[in-house]
Amino acid sequence: MQISFTAEQIATVLNGTIEGDSSIEVNNFSKIEDGRPGTLTFLSNPKYTHYIYTTNASIVLVNDDFVAEHPIKATLIRCSNAYAALAVLLDMVEKSRPQKTGVEPMSYISESATLGENVYIGAFTYIADSAKIGNNTKVYPQSYIGDNVQIGDNTIIYPGVKIYQGCIIGNNCIIHSGVVIGSDGFGFAPEDNGEFKKIPQMGIVLIEDDVEIGANTTIDRAVMDATIIHKGVKLDNLIQIAHNVEVGDNTVMAAQVGVSGSTKIGKQCMFGGQVGLGGHITIGDNANIGAQSGIISNIEPGAKILGSPAIPVRDFFKSSVVFPKLPEIYKQIAQLQKEIEALKSNKN
């Protein structure tokens, strides 16, 4: 934190209830296991409950239903969701920091480009012909904004982002360093001589409002029309979204997910790390796919699956109990086969 807040001030912002010293002040955050005096921390995961009795943090955010089993020296602020409350405070502190504005030297802006009010353009950034940058948007150094790109209001483009021609970014988006938006999709037509003919990728990438894209993620342009990332989607680092993919509202993906071309993903889905999706399939709304799963066919809405190829979570866990026993089971089956053959021989 850049400034100090009392427990009373924090509780007012969060509509929380104080247990302890309402006048105690904090000026920073800390993890509950490493809590320091003068800092605020939180408890939402039951695995960390034991730390609340030993932490030196001055204030701890807890859920309304938290029940203490031992004395706690920290001041508690009870709220409906401690993790969400922490996000509110972090956002408040982030917005209180001085904001960059203006165009720094050594950047290039085409005469036909349009900049909104209160924008920030960092050094060594290139903004190409007919690009449009919205109000209060920040483009950090060494970024490339291609011809006819449109970026909405209050969006942050961190250093080293590359946005190819014609792509559209909505309002309130966050694009982290190293992201490439609008590179060619992996489209090649096999020819009779065994070579591959490149298929021009003539579409764009459309990213709607309130999307966050993690570092070094790549999103390919469509062959025609658009690769679409709908409102509220959150993508982790190192994700690959192929051409003509569509990702539904408020879907979240952890690192190293790979989505093949023309796959349609529904709303409010959750993908663990390293999930791989085949092409031209459909994932229904609210699907939950565990880490390292391989998906080669359509998934029904609300499904919870795991494994490669993926199966229902319950079936996967039942199967996982059997996996270590397979060598012994194989030996037993082989022995039974020998015994059966011996019985047949004796009978004859």
Q: What is the CATH number of the domain that holds 85?
A: 3.40.1390.10
| Domain shared by 296 and 157, yes or no | yes
pLDDT digits (tens, 9 = 90+) for 328-348: 988 999 899 988 888 888 776
Q: Is the pLDDT of residue 270 over 70?
A: yes
Integer Cα distance of 118 and 138 in angstroms: 9
| Domain shared by 35 and 168, yes or no | no
| Domain shared by 122 and 260, yes or no | yes
Residue 140 buriedness (CB in 10 A; 0-12 / 13-18 / 19+):
buried
| Domain shared by 72 and 107, yes or no | no
Domain boundary among 96, 112, 145: 96
Pairing label, strands 304-307, 310-312: antiparallel
| Domain shared by 192 and 312, yes or no | yes
| Domain shared by 192 and 237, yes or no | yes
| Domain shared by 63 and 151, yes or no | no
pLDDT digits (tens, 9 = 90+) for 43-60: 999 999 999 999 999 999
| Inside any domain, residue 340 | no
| Inside any domain, residue 325 | no
| Inside any domain, residue 336 | no
The two three-digit tokens of residue 60, written as one number: 């701890």
| Domain shared by 230 and 171, yes or no | yes
Domain boundary among 50, 71, 96: 96
pLDDT digits (tens, 9 = 90+) for 210-225: 999 999 999 999 999 9
Average pLDDT over residues 269-289: 97
| Domain shared by 77 and 142, yes or no | no
| Domain shared by 91 and 107, yes or no | no
Cβ(149)–Cβ(163) under 8 Å?
yes
Annotated catalytic residue: which of 50, 70, 243, 280? 243
| Inside any domain, residue 335 | no
Domains of the chain: total:
2
Q: What is the CATH number of the domain that holds 297?
A: 2.160.10.10
For 129, the domain range is: 102-316
Measure CA 306 to chain center.
Answer: 19
| Domain shared by 239 and 187, yes or no | yes
| Inside any domain, residue 346 | no
| Domain shared by 176 and 309, yes or no | yes
Integer Cα distance of 14 and 177 in angstroms: 32
pLDDT digits (tens, 9 = 90+) for 72-118: 999 999 999 999 999 999 988 888 888 889 999 999 999 999 999 99
| Inside any domain, residue 259 | yes
Average pLDDT over residues 64-73: 95
Q: Is the pLDDT of residue 311 over 80?
A: yes
280 is an active site residue = no
Integer Cα distance of 256 and 272 in angstroms: 9
Half-sphere exposure of 92 (CA within 13 A, CB side): 17
pTM higher than 0.85, yes or no? Answer: yes
| Inside any domain, residue 225 | yes
Which regions of 258-340 does DSSP assign to beta strands (E)?
A: 258-259, 264-265, 270-271, 276-277, 282-283, 288-289, 294-295, 304-307, 310-312
pLDDT digits (tens, 9 = 90+) for 123-151: 999 999 999 999 999 999 999 999 999 99
pLDDT digits (tens, 9 = 90+) for 230-253: 999 999 999 999 999 999 999 999
Domain boundary among 96, 121, 152: 96
| Inside any domain, residue 333 | no
